[in-house]
Structure 1
Amino acid sequence: MGSVIVAVLLAAWLAVTVLAALPRIGGGVRGRVPAWFSPLVPSWAFFAPRPATRDQVLMYRDFLANGAFGPLREVWPGGGPGGRAGKAVSDTVGHLLETVGKSRRAGRAGGPEEARLRDARLMISTPYLLLLGRACAAPHDAAAVGLQFAVAFASLREEEPEVVFVSAVHRLETGVPEGVPC
């Protein structure tokens, strides 16, 4: 009888541990666990309290001469020693999202003129200009007259990337060779 009780307790503990580790319901499970029991539920968060489970991806799409947009395409960071270009793009995306977040928090109190001013400040910020330059250097459709870049979160688990930021449409110089910023 004692071994059955131990087996049931261990099975319940395993079930709570597995449920708490699931990304979508883990927070709810952890919230329902009594305070005296919560130290017994392991937290499988490697490298941080909330590990990176999605990649930040820089994407762009061409604005065509007929007024339509082309498909979203990923900007592949150039291969440098030790993946530095990829790290630079990732850091720049993080800084842009931080800047956008600060702008949105500050923008709750302003009117339309204040919003236009915030958008203009964002478009001349260093992260925005760096990502725009990276998107301009990517190959474009021959009929493209402009481009728009986007930042998305992508995961191997999800089919479609989640777009979290979309830039304004920027004019694309015609006849610019690939790899040269617009």
Structure 2
Amino acid sequence: MTISANMMRKNKILCKSLKTVESLGSVSVICSDKTGTLTQNKMTVIDCALGNERMSVKQAHDALVLNQAQNPSGTHNALDQLRSLAGLCNAAEFDAATRRLPIEQRTIYGDATDQAILRFSEQLGSVAELRRCWQTKYELAFNSKNKYMIRALGLVHPDGKSMSLPSDTAAVFEPADILLTIKG
């Protein structure tokens, strides 16, 4: 731990407690922005990863369009599931008055992380259309004790339900032995 703390200090990273350093071994995703989050409260999704495949937002959009063209019957892949989770399991909302503006210029109400993830989902497809298809059945807000949020959703045409945990799922589930990739 001391070695990690010293390495971080050399890179001008300040840890307020050793508990922070201890938890770094269990971190799987860090959402950060070198300066914008602290100074402007803005974050942006640049890349996404599905399994062992990493792609830009543009590449993800193109792959999703290609998948929908090849599978018009509605077969969903991991990228479509990521887009759905990003749009549905999100507390941020677009300002309706700015809906005709380009995505980057729209006003979004919510914290910086939710704003970035909502904007990412919208770049892959209409979040409003997605949200019209699903109804929230139950919601437990994120809190620092649980370290996760729950949103149970039901299709508007009730032939299925889904439960999603977009935060620290390790607190609820054991690590998985299988991996969903972009190819399924």
Common topology (TM > 0.5): no
For the pair shown, the structure with the greater C-alpha radius of gyration is 1
Name the TM tier (shorter chain): under 0.3
TM-score normalised according to structure 1 size: 0.27
The answer to which structure, 1 or 2, has the higher relative contact order (CA under 8 A, 6+ apart) is 1
The TM-score, its normalising length taken from structure 2, stands at 0.27
